[in-house]
Structure 1
Amino acid sequence: MQWLQDMWTKEGTGIPKDAPKKTGLALFAAIFAREWWEMVKLNILFLLTAMFVVTLPAALVAMARVCVAFTEDRNTYLLRDFLEALVRYFWRATAWGVAFAAVFGIWGYAVIAYAASARDNLLLTVPLTISLVMIVFVTVVACHLLVLMVMRDLPALKMLRLAALASIVRPLPALGALAFAIALWLVHIAFYPVSVFMPATVNFSLGMFAVTFAVHRAATMVLATQQDSEPHARNASQSV
Structure 2
Amino acid sequence: MQKAIIVGATSGIGKSLALLLADNGYKVGIIGRRENLLAELHTEKPNTFYSLAFDVTANGLEENLQILTKQLDGLDLLIFSAGIGELNKDLNIDLELPTIDVNVKAFNKVVIWAFHYFEKQKTGQIAVISSIAGLRGGGIAPAYNASKAYQINYLEGLRQKVRKQKLAISITDARPGFVDTAMAKAEEKFWMATPEKAALQIFNAIKTKKNVIYITKRWRIIAWFLKLMPSYLYERI
TM-score in terms of structure 1 length: 0.26
In our comparison, the structure showing a higher alpha carbon Rg is: 1
Select the structure that is richer in strand.
Answer: 2
TM-score in terms of structure 2 length: 0.26
Select the structure that is richer in helix.
Answer: 1
Higher relative contact order (CA 8 A, sep 6+): 1
